[in-house]
Chains A and B, each alone.
Chain A
Amino acid sequence: GIQVEQSPPDLILQEGANSTLRCNFSDSVNNLQWFHQNPWGQLINLFYIPSGTKQNGRLSATTVATERYSLLYISSSQTTDSGVYFCAVGEYGNKLVFGAGTILRVKS
C-alpha cells in the first residue's frame, strides 16, 4: 500500500515564527488532505489539495503531485497553532492513509 512520511516529527517554535511541514508519499494519489488535531482530539480540515497551491489566512499548502510531496506553511505562528498536523492521502477507492503526524508546540 501507499506510504506517507511526514517531517519533522516534532517542532518547537517561538510565537511569531514561520514553519514548513512536509509530507512525502510513495504513489500517485487522487486526494491529499492536511488536518490539525486540536487538544480535544478533533481533526480539523485545513486543506484539500491533491495538486496546486491554496492559501487560508496564515496557512498555505502546496502539492507537487508529479514529485509526490506536499508542504504546509504556517506563518506568524500563534500558541493556538499548537497540536498535531496530519497529512493524509487517498488510496484506491475512498480510503485515506495517514502519516504519523508532526507535533507542533508554539511557545509564547
Chain B
Amino acid sequence: QSALTQPRSVSGSPGQSVTISCTGTSSDVGAYNHASWYQQHPGKAPKLIIYDVIKRPSGVPDRFSGSKSGNTASLTISGLQAEDEADYYCSSYAGSYTWMFGGGTKLTVL
C-alpha cells in the first residue's frame, strides 16, 4: 500500500492560482468520490479543507476547491495569499477499511 503521489512542491505569486495533484489507482482515488485534502502549517496539526472531493467545511474560504478525474484528485487554490503557504496532503479510502495519504506538497507563496 504505497502513498498517493503528490508533487513535492509547487509555488505561485499572491493572487495567482495553483493546482496540486494527487494520483492514485483505480482501487483508491479512482474508485471512490471521497478524496479529502488537509492543510498543515509548520508545527501545527493538519486541518481538513476539502472532503468528498469537492466539499468545503464551514469556515474554509471558497478560494479552495477540489476536483477529480479518473485516478487523480486535485486541489486548486485561487487568489493565493501569504497565509496559504503550507504543506498539503490528500487522502483516500483504499478499500478493505484502510486509508492512505499522499506524500505531501509544499506550497510556497513567492
Do A and B actually bind? Answer: no
A residues sitting closer than 8 Å to B (CB atoms) are: none
